[in-house]
Amino acid sequence: MTLIETDRLRLRPLTTADVDAFVALHQDERVNRFVGTYTQRQALERLSAIETQWATRGHGLCAVELKATGEFLGRCGLHYWRQFDEVEVGWTLRAEAWGHGYATEAARAAVDWGFSHLGLDLITAMIHHGNTASERVAERLGFTYGREDVLFGKPVNVFALKPGGAR
Q: Quick one: what percent of the chain has pLDDT higher than 90?
A: 84
- Give the domain 4-161 fold: Aminopeptidase (3.40.630)
Q: What is the mean pLDDT of residues 153-165?
A: 90
Q: How far is CA 130 from the centre of its chain?
A: 18
According to DSSP, the residues that pair with 89 across neighbouring strands are 78
**Global pTM value:** 0.92
pLDDT at 1: 54
Mean pLDDT of the chain: 93
According to DSSP, the residues that pair with 72 across neighbouring strands are 65
pLDDT at 4: 95
The pLDDT tens digits of the residues spanning 81-130 come to 999 999 999 999 999 999 999 999 999 999 999 999 999 999 999 999 98
pLDDT at 166: 52
Indicate the Cα dihedral angle 22, 72, 18, 58, nearest 10°.
100
